[in-house]
Structure 1
């Protein structure tokens, strides 16, 4: 049975993850969403009439302190050019997506970075790691202004099988959020 993207709108389990998942607090600085976006890929196709670019193969994007890696990415821009640069509005990434921020790594199968809202939404076999702490779920939303991360157990594309292995090796447990928090040594 094929699961549609609309199923991610259901949130049977929800976990708001503070910037420091557990242990010593590490403050995430506010992300500079106005910083230039540097990219690299094996292949790029510009589709100017559609106001987008398609990057394929070992895609790497960097903006300020954040990097985003994926197998494929579509870059949507508004058509407006300021200072000779097209204004990027959204990045859609797929295939082994990894988002790295200082002291934090998130992995999934799909991600959408809405630059106007300054929000990254990651879907499918999500894993968020900070230090020795890991949280797994179906969907992760990161507010780039506040650093707030919200994980829920929504299942997408092949998810929802109780205990089934996700493509990235994490275990999905039927719409639940799971994880491990490290505990400081208390001598």
Structure 2
């Protein structure tokens, strides 16, 4: 691959939703509330598995999925196990104030305060939409980066609006333009 093509590819892969940086910092120390149709505790593995209509809330952020693996450290503080990671699958939606992200899988690394979403990812902020293969959200800075590698092609049917699935290796989207006089 030529140096110019690598430079263009790198430029294409890094798309930042600039308004996200203006959001207030997420409180990653807030308690995590959850609900699901079923929960299986696997104490020896320091894990809990939630299945069916999983709903998670931390401060003003919510996560919905069909399945969630909760990994905890084994350390207990004030009677509560210390959660280190959430792995969600099955139609994952993460909502933050003024921002919604959808994908097939998500990993919330509580230690790094980063959410990574994979699989036909769509980030929507107001009328702006960006599609790709992988989305990384830094909860400290609010910076969102979309990566276009390994994006599965397909139609946007059933998703509504102007959303189109990105062809392989591309990040696509629509940005609104303010009306000018």
TM-score surpassing 0.5?
A: yes
- Where does 1:70-89 land on structure 2 (aligned, <5 Å)? 70-89=65-84
Structure 2 equivalent of residue 17 of structure 1: 16
Structure 2 equivalent of residue 38 of structure 1: 33
Structure 2 equivalent of residue 165 of structure 1: 155
Partners of 1:78 and 1:86 within 8 A in 2: yes
1:14 CA drift (Å): 1.1
1:69 aligns with 2:69: no
Higher helix share: 2
Report the aligned-residue RMSD: 2.1
Structure 2 equivalent of residue 143 of structure 1: 138
Give the whole-Å Cα distance in 2 for the aligned partners of 1:166 and 1:93. Answer: 22
Q: Which runs of 5+ in 2 are unaligned?
A: 1-8
SS state at 2:55 partner: strand
CA-to-aligned-CA distance 1:93-145 (integer Å, 9 cap, x gap): 00000000000000000000000000000000000000000000000000000
Task: Note closer, same or farther for the CA distance 1:167–1:12 as it changes in structure 2 (3 Å cut).
Answer: farther
SS state at 1:20 partner: helix
| TM-score with structure 1 setting the length | 0.84
Partners of 1:91 and 1:114 within 8 A in 2: yes
Q: Which runs of 5+ in 1 are unaligned?
A: 1-9
SS state at 1:116 partner: coil
Q: Greater relative contact order: 1 or 2 (C-alpha under 8 angstroms, separation 6 or more)?
A: 1
Task: Note closer, same or farther for the CA distance 1:180–1:122 as it changes in structure 2 (3 Å cut).
Answer: same
Structure 2 equivalent of residue 183 of structure 1: 177
